[in-house]
Chains A and B, each alone.
Chain A
């Protein structure tokens, strides 16, 4: 069964530092991959998605992620953290093609940004 692993339940960075949130998936066939962000007591908002085409995907708020098939990874990065980036981040994966449309979510990584 498809699965996704986010390494590190909590990541802390200083404002202005590089943000790196790790995500690995288990499928042998490249799936669809997503990163979502969740602010406290709110729903999830899509940051970016990988569906095919370019392996480097740019998203909103200056985030980007690189799909690496050889490493089965889809890590999320941002060159310079801002205080407003403090939130919980979820990596998700979906089979390609999918009969159900289901997403499998990682456990989430809480990003703390220190002034």
Chain B
């Protein structure tokens, strides 16, 4: 059954700790994306990657880092430099060179106290 998985569903961390959110897809998609969602602000793009070993900053990349060592995986690290890390994080993927329709994972809700 093809799709995108994100784990864990809920994540709790203490302020000052780095935390890594997992995103895996078995759709054979080249492109992958990370979004942050806050109430009333829609989705904001953090990072995206169109091919393995390459990624670009989105609109709100400060305080985040990513890697793309495998086509299937695009983990996001929320660093201690991110001032307001508590949010709902969504991962998506798409096929390059098409209509850019993106497929979304179920999301990870991160709470930092």
Given known A-B contacts A34-B101, A41-B107, A49-B99, A105 and B31 have beta carbons under 8 A apart: no
Interface residues on B, range: 20 to 34
B94 in contact (CB, < 8 A): yes
Q: Which of A9-68 contact B (CB under 8 A)?
A: 9, 32, 34, 36, 41-46, 49, 51
Complex: A82 Cα to B105 Cα, angstroms: 25
Interface class of chain A by DSSP: loop
Say yes or no: B42 contacts A101, CB within 8 Å. Answer: no
Q: How many of chain A's residues touch chain B, expressed as a range?
A: 20 to 34
Say yes or no: A90-B101 contact (C-beta < 8 A), given A43-B107, A101-B31, A101-B48: no
- Residue B63 at the chain A interface, CB threshold 8 Å: no
In the complex, besides A43-B4, A49-B99, 17 extra interface pairs with C-beta distance below 8 angstroms are A9-B40, A36-B104, A42-B106, A42-B107, A43-B106, A44-B92, A45-B104, A46-B103, A49-B101, A94-B99, A100-B48, A100-B56, A101-B94, A101-B96, A101-B102, A103-B102, A108-B40
Task: Report which A residues bind B (CB closer than 8 A).
Answer: 9, 32, 34, 36, 41-46, 49, 51, 90, 94, 98, 100-103, 105-108
